[in-house]
Amino acid sequence: MKKFVKSLIVGVVLTCTMAVMAGCGAKKEAATFANEQDGMKAEVVLEAEDDKVNKLTMSFIFPAELVDEDQAEMMEAGYKTLEETGIKVSSDKTDEEFTIKMEIPIEEKTLEALKDLDLDLDSTDFSFKAMKQELLDDGFTEKK
């Protein structure tokens, strides 16, 4: 009987521990949004944990005929200045399109560095739900 009670207690403790651990796990979410105007495409990917966006990835895709070599170089140079803030910037030019992609970590050091470029995001609501709604209000559609 003692052995049964001991096994029962261990089982209950393990079950409770697993339930607590499952309940305390961070809820991770992601959503992708797209918009197109005048042949130019934009895609935004939000990554969040516990309703707080922690990474924002933005891609801008221009038809090649709208961006000549000089314009592409100017855009690349302009966006490359953001790399010192912790934002990863990449670009790609093919015969069909020119793409600029930015990966923005939503963290204190990046937000502080952006202030130096006169981009103050202190009043921005980085909640997943709020940012999703803002993108929808701006004409983006959510990809499912």
Within-domain flag for 5: no
Residue 1: the pLDDT is 42
Distance CA 45, CA 52 (A): 13
Model-wide pTM > 0.85: no
Measure Cα distances from 122 to 13, 48, 96, 99, 138 in Å. 44, 18, 38, 28, 20
Within-domain flag for 6: no
Range of the domain at 105: 27-143
Within-domain flag for 18: no
Residue 5: the pLDDT is 31
Residue 111 sits in a domain whose CATH number is 3.30.1830.10
Measure Cα distances from 142 to 17, 104, 114, 134 in Å. 37, 19, 27, 12
C-alpha count within 13 angstroms, C-beta hemisphere, residue 18: 6
Within-domain flag for 10: no
Q: Whose structure tokens read 């003692």? A: 2
* Number of domains into which the chain is organized: 1
| pLDDT averaged per 10 residues, the chain (length 144) | 36 37 68 92 94 90 86 80 80 89 84 68 77 91 91
Distance CA 60, CA 39 (A): 11
